[in-house]
Structure 1
């Protein structure tokens, strides 16, 4: 029941981070609708939205130095897209509950403890590495803000329209520290939502691996049953096993649409965030002549965090396609050729192989293919745009 434990734990973190109860078992995480919790969520997201609005206003109307304007633009774009990712999952809470139930139940009778432990280890590595990359970037933003304050300027991490650049009053300083705290909390909510998308893709990939090993195991089971005088029994067992495998395969194919409805927007918006924000950050790194080491590190680690998350999304989605493509061979070598008593087993294998030869390609909004190739295209496209703008600007 590791999948059950992983998803329930993640949904608990999402609940604590203000995302609501997304677990399919009522009363397991939240005890009904709580007015106090709803008030907590409203206040939390009102603060997120207000801070983002102040950043957007600062981009158009703020009077600030070029480095702070670049940070303001980067955060305004990033936080707008991050809020879009959050709300895309929260408004689909009912569908997320159904997805969680299916991720727990499909293929659960054939999941092996060793493979589940491997699945859990990979999920933990992916999520922890992503969280570390995000907070490493945050640490250098914080360090640079403290450095500026120690050198006679003002403390700054999040650049907003107010407080104004010249305002060093106690209220302005307090607000700047408050926005830093809001950023740290907002990252927790963001990491929880992104982690849910990562976990969904990894679990989906392991469902196909479970099905593949189940189908490969049918051959060994058939050979053991197909001893003298037991060919008919072996054939019946093979037929029943193939039918069960086909049902699981059909359920997994339908599950791809559920994942697209629940986290497809998260995946698509991350492509936009990684490409758009990376161009702005790389230009800031290339064109600024007086950046400190901490300022350079905060930009570099921000870009690393953006592309690391995109790689987790697209590579895991590409792995789903690869694992699904292996099913046709597993079905073909199940031992059907040794069945002489039932010809319908051969027809069943024929139809199953034909269906498995159309492997799933994960898409966002049924348009953007989520594959290894897409990741390479995004990286190349981002660098091309950066190189073009840099060449025009540096002339």
Structure 2
């Protein structure tokens, strides 16, 4: 298992869900410029857009009961943001293709199998957890629709302007079933091509910084081994060459971090809005409704869990990138530079290299949403506290 296999698998699945070919070699994944694929992708996203528009119209002009009106508002807002996230990633397809190559190549010679396997397990566990929460919420929406149908109403999951609440015809029922199928497909496209892809990139960059830190730590071990043999000149040369290589890798990782921010920054920013905004209205539904069934409560709980689980993955992994990058300065400083004299020209001065590398590492990358809000652990906790505070305020007023 390596970065190449993981990214290739992602790009293959992204291609299958209609978002295009993000792999550098089109022949390995598929041709997203073919007429058949363009029709497939256009049809899929056109359905997503039309369904979202019908949800928005339902909120503005529809005449539905309170519970369906709340669902219409929730889906109209969330699906609008989902579409924005999808198109933001698709619009950066060329950049992501180059990022795939960079992510695979940087630090490749110095990767440790156990660290790569740990990274893969982390990605896998987080994707499975997010998948379960998203589809758990979707399944409970279906169960609630079935409960309504057996209690004398009609089956409904996605509330759209058509059909109206009073329309129980066969055509209306088929349309409601169709929108449910669209919901499940839209969630798959969202998970594969946007949310988990962004999360995987953040985790991969975090482990690349770990790999670089271990590289500088091994540099010290190699230096001590050669230096103890009595060949100080060779030890100094190896140390100097190693420092140069490490600085180059560090610069590539910093550039990769900026590219990730450019390609996926909108996704993270939109998720910040969605998680904090939608959670308040969903929690109020649970707190203020007197006739909320167990299934209806569970669909809301799973929805809120999915929102904050993904936000936590984004913010905590982005914060972990900053933390891992901040550890580099100490690893560089203890590389062994003080134990040997500088080499004469034309060799580079390893003491100058250490100073330069440490100065660069003392300013670790900090990812930001809207170029203002730092994506860190503390930001995640702040969002949680702020969401609860707003919820408590509205709850107190409505009580």
Q: TM-score, normalised by structure 2?
A: 0.97
Find out whether 1:315 has 2:316 as its counterpart.
yes
Describe the superposition over 1:38-89 as per-residue Cα deviations: whole angstroms up to 9, x where unpaired.
0011110010000000000000111010011000000000000000000000
Matched with 1:99 is: 99
Structure 1 regions of 5+ residues with no counterpart? none
Note if contact 1:232-1:341 (Cα within 8 Å) is conserved in structure 2.
no
Matched with 2:199 is: 198
Find out whether 1:140 has 2:140 as its counterpart.
yes
**How far apart, CA to CA, are the structure 2 residues paired with 1:329 and 1:207?**
17
Matched with 2:288 is: 287
Runs of 4+ aligned residues of structure 1 deviating over 4 Å after TM superposition are: none
Matched with 1:20 is: 20
**How far apart, CA to CA, are the structure 2 residues paired with 1:26 and 1:178?**
33
Q: 1:49-128 counterparts in 2 under 5 A?
A: 49-128=49-128
SS in 1 for 2:27: coil
**How far apart, CA to CA, are the structure 1 residues paired with 2:277 and 2:165?**
26
**How far apart, CA to CA, are the structure 2 residues paired with 1:238 and 1:271?**
44
Describe the superposition over 1:250-271 as per-residue Cα deviations: whole angstroms up to 9, x where unpaired.
1111111100111111000000
Q: 1:31 to 1:84 in 2, by over 3 A?
A: closer
SS in 1 for 2:263: helix
Matched with 1:380 is: 385
State which of 383, 392, 395 in structure 2 corresponds to 1:390: 395
Matched with 1:261 is: 262
Q: How far did 1:26 drift?
A: 2.7
Matched with 2:223 is: 222
Q: 1:105 to 1:228 in 2, by over 3 A?
A: closer
Q: How far did 1:378 drift?
A: 1.0
Describe the superposition over 1:373-392 as per-residue Cα deviations: whole angstroms up to 9, x where unpaired.
11111111111111111222
Q: How far did 1:346 drift?
A: 1.2
Matched with 1:347 is: 352
Q: How far did 1:32 drift?
A: 6.0
Note if contact 1:141-1:157 (Cα within 8 Å) is conserved in structure 2.
yes
How many correspondences in the alignment? 394
Structure 2 regions of 5+ residues with no counterpart? none
**How far apart, CA to CA, are the structure 2 residues paired with 1:134 and 1:31?**
30
Matched with 1:238 is: 239
Q: TM-score, normalised by structure 1?
A: 0.98
**How far apart, CA to CA, are the structure 1 residues paired with 2:130 and 2:230?**
57
**How far apart, CA to CA, are the structure 2 residues paired with 1:309 and 1:379?**
13
Note if contact 1:339-1:345 (Cα within 8 Å) is conserved in structure 2.
no
Q: 1:32 to 1:63 in 2, by over 3 A?
A: closer
